[in-house]
Amino acid sequence: MEIATRIVVDDKVRFGKPVIKGTRVPAELVLSKLAGGATYGEVMAEYDLTREDILAVLDYAAKHLSGEEVRAVG
């Protein structure tokens, strides 16, 4: 099932985690690599992705986080 542009979930692929459509590459992995300092080019080469795939992951993450509610404790 497509949950965002180019991002899908399937119980039979990566335990239902969001992956890039047509691959088994988890969105979380792409974000982790970028956060760790990898360039778009490095991620694209390592996982055979397109720039549009990476931008779709970033868009998905931004939209997911925009709905997150954070509460201060203390």
**Has residue 7 got a pLDDT over 90?**
yes
Domains of the chain by start residue, with CATH: 2-26+34-66 (1.10.10)
5: which 2 tokens?
A: 């542009």
32: which 2 tokens?
A: 């982790």
**Has residue 74 got a pLDDT over 80?**
no
Mean pLDDT for the chain? 94
R_g (Cα) of the chain, nearest Å:
13
Give the pLDDT confidence score for residue 59 in this predicted structure: 96
Q: How far apart are CA 10 and CA 16, in angstroms?
A: 5
**Alpha helices per DSSP H over 16-72:** 27-35, 40-47, 51-66
pTM, two decimal places: 0.87
